[in-house]
Every structure is written in C-alpha cells, then in structure tokens.
Copies of this chain bind each other. A is one copy, B any other.
Amino acid sequence: METISNKPMDDIEGKEKANTVMEEKMLPEITARYETAMFTVNRKLNAMIRELTPGDLTAEQLSTLRYIRSKGSATSSELADIFCVGRSSITAIITRLSAKNLIIRRLDEKDRRVIYLELSEEGTRLTDEMETRILHLFSKYLVDFDSEEAMLFINVLEKLAKVLAETADGSGNQQ
C-alpha cells in the first residue's frame, strides 16, 4: 500500500529519516486530533445506528448478529476474540439473542466442546433489514466525500486495523 500523492516532501535522499523525524515531532498533535475525531465519529454513529435499531436490540447484540451474518457462523471463543471481551460476556449476549429466537446453537459433531452460532430465519431477516438501513444512513454522509479521499481513508484505516490486530498481545481479555 503506497501513498498516491506524488508531491515530493523533502527528498534530500533521506526520505525514510525525514518522515520519521517529522512524525516524532507531530505525534502529540496527531494523537490528540485522531482521538477527538474518532471519539465523535464513534459516538455519533453509534447513536444514529441505535435509533435505526428496533427497541429491543442493543448495539452489542446487533454487532454480534452482523458478525455472524458476515461469516455464516461463529463460535463463542471467536466472538470473544473479535470483540475483545471475556467468553462469559459472549455467553450472556448469545443467551439473550437466543431467547429472542434470533440465533441458533448448532453442536459440532466432531469436537463436542464447540458450539456453532448461526442466525435463525428471523435473525437473518432482521440483520438484512438493518444492513439496508445502515447502508442508507451511510449513503447520506458519503456524498460529502469524493472517491479518492474515501479510498485513501479506507486504505489507511484498514492498514491501522491490520497493524493493531497483528499485535495480538493483550487483545483485551481472556481467561
């Protein structure tokens, strides 16, 4: 993934070093701006999605459904990893989704410890409906960005996600 711009920066041969130094200096500012903006984006988007969601479904529950929808099925441990929470937390969420008949537990016949989580028909329908609504919401805001900046943004965001995900270290929680 290389940058698109061809506007040269310093180009006194030591490109590598020049960039590093500059960032060192700008670190506090970049960090502060990143955090402030990220905070606002997350809070506002979550609030908006919350308003789109049927009253008896929480943000975590919706995220869980959507993740399973995207993968077809998932296990508790996988969800705990992805969501960076303990497994007991996932159990609680799954129990509630199951009580609402949105999720089905399917036993693995080979390894009888594992349980595959899948969406029920109703769960699939509801998740698809939410996907549509969210897409519609996003489309309202995406028109303010041109393709190029949007793609650049997404690429850097994905790179960041990759870098963070690779640092498997803490990863938040486990037992």
Contact = CB atoms under 8 A, between A and B. Distances in A.
Given A6-B6, A34-B157, A157-B153, A48 B138 contact: no
Given A51-B172, A152-B153, A153-B157, A138 B27 contact: yes
B30 A150 contact: yes
**What band does the interface of chain A fall in when counting residues whose beta carbon is under 8 Å from B?**
35 or more
Interface string A76-102: 000000111000000000000000000
Given A147-B22, A159-B144, A164-B40, A50 B154 contact: no
16 contacts: A3-B146, A3-B148, A5-B5, A5-B6, A5-B148, A5-B152, A6-B6, A19-B146, A22-B147, A31-B134, A38-B157, A41-B157, A42-B42, A43-B83, A47-B171, A149-B152
A175 interface: no
A84 B43 contact: yes
A12 interface: no
A120 interface: no
